Structure 1
Amino acid sequence: MSKRLLLDTTPLRNPAYRRLWIGHGVSFTGFQITSVAVPVQVYQMTGSSFWVGVLGVVNLVPLIVFGLWGGAVADHMDRRRLLFLSSLLTWVATLGLLAQAVLRLELLWLLMAVVALQSTGFAISSPTRGAIVPRLFSVEEIPAANTLSYTFSQAATLGGPLLAGLILTRWDYSWAYALDAVLFTVMLWAAFRLPDIPPLDGTEKVQGTPGLRSILDGLRFLWTQPVLLMSFVVDIIAMGVAMPRALFPELADTRFGGESAVGWLFAAIGIGAVLGGLFSGWIGRIRRQGLALVVSIVLWGLAVALAGLQHSLWAAVALLALAGAADLVSAVFRTTILQTYAPDELRGRVQGIFTVVVAGGPRLGDMRAGIMAVAFGAGVSWVFGGLACAVLVVLVGLASPALLRYRPDAPDHGPEERSSKQVT
């Protein structure tokens, strides 16, 4: 098989990126275990998909507030230090989940509060980590680095739920949260071992403090960049309309055979993304990145809709895996467009907005899916979301010719040289 079709691993030769890649991938596996354990615990406590959907709101509010603020801070201070501190906050919240499970408190409000704290740490660390990667590579190397990062993240999305299904079948929630806490220590090590990553040229390019004005500067920049703006819009549609995961606990119980099925449903998207990542050598050669982004999200929506029509667990898993492969492609292109468009002095803030979109979109999807499940049934909610996503993204693409025409090497779309200064 041609090496041009296989995953490009050359970014792993960079020691700083390699540590970041390992730390995030391992810790994200634990995070995915918790991401299954918490909704299953909430469903068992309440017996309602509505409250599982409410988890989306509980996660979303900190993501919006602290994702924007964290991105602004990342433009004003050493990004290594900020990543370490925010990761430490996430780890403390994970210990809180472990404590409430060990003590068998069964308090819904407490569980929601700890989840919100965990979301706060994630909201700050995610834009910080995203703003670090372009400082480690040249512009040409960024797509390969993003593909590697997303593939490992999706391997975690695959392995974490499968481990969660095994743990929840044999033991209780405390074992899931304990494993998450242990795995997350690898992220603390990785952040601590990164080189210092201060703002470029000291403080000459970053004025003021990371407050509201600084955040508004990032929003104003985004508003003036139609390609960036529309890439955010289609991603919100993909996750906020089509994401079916809030329905997995209920449909695993009523359609697919119980707790042993829930892990497979949560893992299925990761299966497809990992397989897609292993054969992703072609992604870096695609020049019409905007068109590729739109097409991949349409395929995501259609595959999700078809999966919702299935009554066979394995057929649903296969179609969700196809959706996951399409999602990997869209994730690489939307991340690459962002990182090569935004100058370094604004990259943290734009990455913060991106974090709100990428991490907040699925939470909106959880809320939408839960509300529609109460009104129309879980199956209808699942299929409708996928079809609506495909239709809306086609309409947005037709209304946004700049996005469909976008090429990173076009004369009016080239990345600024000042954003490519590397850290060694």
Structure 2
Amino acid sequence: MARTATVGAPLRHPAFQRLWLGLSISYLGDQFTIVALLWFVLQLTGSGAAVGLVILCFDLPGVVTGAILGRLLDRYQPRQVMGFDNLARAALIAAIPTLYALRSLQLWHVFVLASLAGALSPATTAGVRAFVPHLVDDAALDRANALTATSLQFSYLAGPVAAGVAVARLGGPWALFIDAASFLLMGLLVLTLPTITREPRAAKANRWLGFEALFSLRYVPALTLLSLVFFFSYGPLEAALPVYSGQTLHANADGYGLLWTGFGMGAFAGVLTLTRLSRRWRPSIALPMIAVLWGALLCPLFFIRRLPLAMLFLGVAGASWAPYMPMETTLLQRLVPAE
């Protein structure tokens, strides 16, 4: 495999710098959508079910389109697919405040636009995983994935407070322009990434959109199942948190943002333990332990009625949650042959 890699610190490679910068800005912008859009829908409808449906619209289409987008990433240059994804999502997210400004926004518009954005999102998620091994040496994969995870956790730390203030001062829909701008910048940055040179492959009948080959790899089916359960457990938290904040803690948009900040503080601290955790525990042991601990630490929230205490427990839960994604990503990158 030809790769434009550099040995040593991942940030020494200019292409990885651009990818990491784009992800950092995009992750930060995403927090404005999480806080602003969900709070806006809750205020508009007063319904936790409507909030959950918005989350479902963002998350469910990707389950269907993920395999198709994966095939496109194999067939075309990842930077092109990722660039289209981010530029298209910039337009979709910007459409919500635009329709609101025109006094034409209806709830079904939010559902449709969220579904379209969610359908595109696996392109960048999978694209980053595919791209990073081409940009850094294998020995630097742990550090590269830790850096991308740190960007995500930092966005949980800084983004919700800023988003909560923006929502409280400007209103939910207007804050979405910030996320749209972050997608636009990410799209422009990924288009500058280098072309990946792939080794020619023998033509094969590709059954089940590549799933047959993928699940023939050792450990991949078990890891996929564990990750499915783990990330599925995270989804209800996004839907429940604005309802929990408003109806149980009686907090406003600022308080809702503070809950995510508590989670982000813990997650940021948790991802800093990644190197030590990777050295001490094999992924086959560490990943199931993280999944169990994450679920156990969320349980006390059922009984907590005060914002500071809720922030504390969310922070501890975030610290347990954060190392999972970079560890799982590195393991998959090493299990699945790069082509």
TM-score (norm 2): 0.90
Is contact 1:290–1:333 with CA below 8 Å preserved after alignment? no
Q: Name the amino acid aligned to 2:148.
A: S
Q: Which residue of 2 aligns with 1:100?
A: 99
C-alpha distance in 1, partners of 2:78/2:261?
31
The answer as to 2:154 corresponding to 1:158 is no
Q: How many residues in Structure 1 have an aligned counterpart in Structure 2?
A: 330
C-alpha distance in 1, partners of 2:190/2:303?
43
C-alpha distance in 1, partners of 2:278/2:288?
17
Q: Name the amino acid aligned to 1:93.
A: L
Q: Which residue of 1 aligns with 2:227?
A: 235
**Paired residue for 1:219, among 206, 211, 223?**
211
The aligned runs of 1:392-411 (5 Å cut-off) are none
Is contact 1:228–1:337 with CA below 8 Å preserved after alignment? no
Q: Residue 84 of structure 2 aligns to a residue in which SS?
A: helix
Q: Which residue of 1 aligns with 2:5?
A: none
The aligned runs of 1:162-311 (5 Å cut-off) are 162-198=161-197, 200-201=198-199, 204-205=200-201, 207=203, 214=206, 216=208, 218-225=210-217, 227-241=219-233, 243-259=236-252, 260-286=254-280, 288-311=282-305
Is contact 2:97–2:177 with CA below 8 Å preserved after alignment? yes
Q: Name the amino acid aligned to 2:201.
A: K
The aligned runs of 1:102-117 (5 Å cut-off) are 102-117=101-116
Q: Name the amino acid aligned to 2:55.
A: G
Deviation, 1:82, is 1.5
Deviation, 1:279, is 4.4
C-alpha distance in 1, partners of 2:18/2:214?
31
Deviation, 1:215, is 6.5
Q: Name the amino acid aligned to 1:50.
A: A
C-alpha distance in 2, partners of 1:247/1:206?
48
Aligned-residue Cα RMSD (Å) equals 2.0
Deviation, 1:217, is 5.2
C-alpha distance in 1, partners of 2:189/2:121?
15
Q: Which residue of 2 aligns with 1:27?
A: 26
Q: Name the amino acid aligned to 2:293.
A: L
* Structure 1 stretch displaced more, 172-181 or 276-285: 276-285
Deviation, 1:301, is 0.9
The aligned runs of 1:284-363 (5 Å cut-off) are 284-286=278-280, 288-345=282-339
Q: Which residue of 1 aligns with 2:64?
A: 65
Identical-residue share of aligned pairs (%):
27
What whole-Å deviation, never above 9, does each CA across 1:89-115 have from its counterpart, x for those lacking one? 111112212212322334111111111
C-alpha distance in 1, partners of 2:50/2:126?
28
Q: Residue 195 of structure 2 aligns to a residue in which SS?
A: coil
Is contact 2:71–2:209 with CA below 8 Å preserved after alignment? no
Q: Which residue of 1 aligns with 2:3?
A: none
Q: Which residue of 2 aligns with 1:77?
A: 76
C-alpha distance in 1, partners of 2:237/2:273?
26
Deviation, 1:126, is 1.6
Deviation, 1:248, is 1.5
Q: Which residue of 2 aligns with 1:123?
A: 122
Which structure 1 residue ranges, 5 or more long, are not aligned?
1-8, 346-424
Deviation, 1:284, is 4.1
Deviation, 1:146, is 0.7
Q: Structure 1's 180 and 205: CA in aligned 2 closer, same or farther, altered over 3 A?
A: same
C-alpha distance in 2, partners of 1:276/1:125?
24
Q: Name the amino acid aligned to 2:251.
A: G
C-alpha distance in 2, partners of 1:151/1:174?
28
